[in-house]
Chains A and B, each alone.
Chain A
Amino acid sequence: MSDIATEPAATRSKMQVSGETAIQITKMNKWYGAFHVLRDVDLTVFNGERIVICGPSGSGKSTLIRCINALEEHQRGEIVVDGTVLSSDLKNIDKIRSEVGMVFQHFNLFPHLTILENCTLAPIWVRKTPKKEAEETAMHFLEKVKIPEQANKYPGQLSGGQQQRVAIARSLCMKPRIMLFDEPTSALDPEMIKEVLDTMIELAEDGMTMLVVTHEMGFARQVANRVIFMDQGQIVEQNEPEAFFNNPQSDRTKLFLSQILGH
Chain B
Amino acid sequence: MSDTSFVRQEMLSEQPAPASSVGFLGWIKNNLFSTWFNSILTVIALGFVWYILAGVLPWTFLSVWNAGSLSECREIARQVWGESHGHACWAVINDRWIQLLFGFYPSHLYWRPILAFVLLGFALAPVLFPQSSRKLLILSGLYPFILPWLMWGGSIWSPIMALIGFVMGYLAIKNLSERIGQLGAIFSSIFAAFLWWLLIGPVFVDLLSANIPIALESVASRDFGGFVLALLIGIVAIVCSLPIGIILALGRQSDLIIVKAFSVAFIEFIRGVPLITLLFVASLLLNLFLPPGTEFDIILRVMIMVTLFSSAYMAEVIRGGLAALPKGQYEGADSLGLDYWQAQRLIIMPQALKVSIPGIVSTFIGLFKDTTLVSIIGLMDPLGLSQGIRANAEWNGIYWELFAFIALLFFVVCFSMSRYSMYLERKLQTDHR
Give chain A's interface residues, CB within 8 Å of chain B. 69, 71, 90, 94-95, 97-98, 100-102, 104, 106-112, 121-122, 125-126, 154, 156-157, 170-171, 174
Contact = CB atoms under 8 A, between A and B. Distances in A.
A110 B431 CA distance: 11
Interface residues of B, number: 24
A112 B337 contact: no
A69 B338 CA distance: 13
Contacts of A69: 334-335
B336 A112 contact: no
Contacts of A95: 337
Contact of A112 (B338, B339, B350, B432): B350
A156 B335 contact: no
B336 A71 contact: no
Interface string B324-341: 001011011111111110
A153 to B, nearest CB: 9
Contacts of A100: 335
Given A104-B331, A121-B346, A125-B342, A111 B337 contact: no
Contacts of A102: 335
Complex A-B, nearest 3 residue pairs according to Cβ-Cβ distance, in ascending order: A98-B337, A108-B332, A122-B336
Query: Among the interface residues B329, B331, B350, B354, which one has the most CB atoms of the partner chain A within 10 A?
Result: B331
Given A98-B336, A108-B328, 6 more contacts: A94-B339, A97-B336, A102-B335, A108-B326, A108-B335, A170-B336
A112 B430 contact: yes
A154 B430 contact: yes
Nearest to B339: A94
Nearest to A167: B332
A62 to B, nearest CB: 11
Contacts of A94: 337-339
Interface in B305-363: 326, 328-329, 331-340, 342, 346-347, 350-351, 354
B212 interface: no
Interface string B378-406: 00000000000000000000000000000
Contacts of A90: 339-340
Contacts of B376: none
Nearest to B433: A156
Contacts of A111: 351, 430-431
A156 B332 contact: no
Contacts of A125: 338, 342, 346
10 contacts: A71-B334, A97-B336, A97-B337, A100-B335, A109-B332, A110-B329, A110-B332, A126-B336, A156-B430, A157-B432
A156 B351 CA distance: 14
B346 A108 contact: no
Contact of A126 (B326, B338, B347): B338
Nearest to B348: A110
A25 B350 CA distance: 37
B96 to A, nearest CB: 49
A130 B48 CA distance: 66
Contacts of B340: 90
A112 B354 contact: yes
Contacts of A112: 350-351, 354, 428, 430
A187 to B, nearest CB: 11
Given A106-B328, A110-B347, A112-B354, A121 B431 contact: no
B274 to A, nearest CB: 37
A71 B428 CA distance: 30
Nearest to A91: B339
Contacts of A110: 329, 332-333, 347, 351
B34 to A, nearest CB: 37
Contacts of A106: 326, 328
A97 B347 contact: no
B332 A154 contact: no
A95 B338 CA distance: 10
B332 A71 contact: no
Nearest to B351: A112
Nearest to B340: A90
Contact of B335 (A97, A121, A154): A97
Interface in B406-433: 428, 430-433
A108 B337 contact: no
